[in-house]
Amino acid sequence: MDRYLDPASSLGEIMFGLIMTLTFTLGAGIVIEEEGREGAREMLIGLIGCNIAWGVIDAVMYIVNELFTRGKRRRIGEIVRRSTDVREGERVIAGELDEMLGDVMTAPERASLYTRIAHIVRTTPATANGMTKADFMGAFWSFWLVVISSVPAAIPFLLIDNLSLALRVSNAVLLAILFITGFHWARYTTGKPWVVGFSFLAGGIALVLMAIALGG
């Protein structure tokens, strides 16, 4: 999975799926109280169906974003190849990379690097911007992470006969996973795991309450 999605994207997909699921389950108490097990069944079908739909949307958007990113690179490459002034091509490349490299390389080092990149671009034929296996695998994992994050919400209803208790356990499990997601995310940053974990937990609850208030 790490070959196709960076950690931020993977954890972001999981967090999104958890928030979508919590939006359903935190507001499901009244439905379960009025309709019993049938209401619980409909709630589970609804939340899994919603996450599947959003998983498909995320997968499509992943492919669109990859095609857009490569298309932007191809456009820059075409500008460099068509340029009759070598310096113009280097300025185009500098416009794309200066912000990223400005803190780690000196101006002369960047200029030398841009010269080499421009030379490679001018001497390398353009390639087609078609979809690749990596695009489909990244889309698959984007879909799967959103969908799989809804599964823990269903397990308590399969194991506990008391629906009200099952709902509370379901919510607790999802909130715990939200904390664990933030805790794990901190490994890729300089943040403190416990602080980031609780921040994710608080932020996730706030987003869920906002979604519910807006009719989501």
The pLDDT tens digits of the residues spanning 90-112 come to 888 888 888 888 888 888 898 89
When pLDDT is averaged across residues 109-135 and rounded to a whole number, the result is: 86
| Percentage, residues of the chain above pLDDT 70 | 89
pLDDT at position 216 = 47
Domain count, the chain: 1
Residue % of the chain over a pLDDT of 90: 12
The type of residue at 190 is T
Mean pLDDT of 25-35: 65
* Residue 99 located in a structural domain: no
If you average pLDDT over every residue of the chain, what do you get?
A: 82
Residue 124 falls inside a structural domain:
no
Structural contact between residues 150 and 23, judged by C-beta atoms closer than 8 angstroms: no
Boundaries of domain holding 38: 7-71+133-213
Find, among 206, 210, 209, 58, the residue nearest to 142 by Cα.
58
Half-sphere exposure of 187 (CA within 13 A, CB side): 7
Q: Is residue 16 part of a domain?
A: yes
Could you tell me if residue 65 is inside a domain?
yes
Per-residue three-class SS string for 5-30: CCHHHHHHHHHHHHHHHHHHHCCCHH
Please indicate, yes or no, if residue 87 is contained in any of the structural domains.
no
Task: Confirm whether 58 is domain-assigned.
Answer: yes
For tokens 């390398």, the residue is 124
Locate 148 and state its tokens: 């799989």
d(CA 5, CA 9) in angstroms, rounded, equals 6
pLDDT at 68: 92
Residue 186 belongs to a domain: yes
Look up residue 65 and give its amino acid: N
Which is nearest to 48 in space by CA: 135, 158, 142, 146?
146
Residue type (1 letter), 130: G
Tally of CA atoms within 13 A in the half-sphere of 216 that contains its CB: 15
Report whether pLDDT(58) > 80: yes
Amino acid identity of 8? A
**Structural domain contains residue 15:** yes
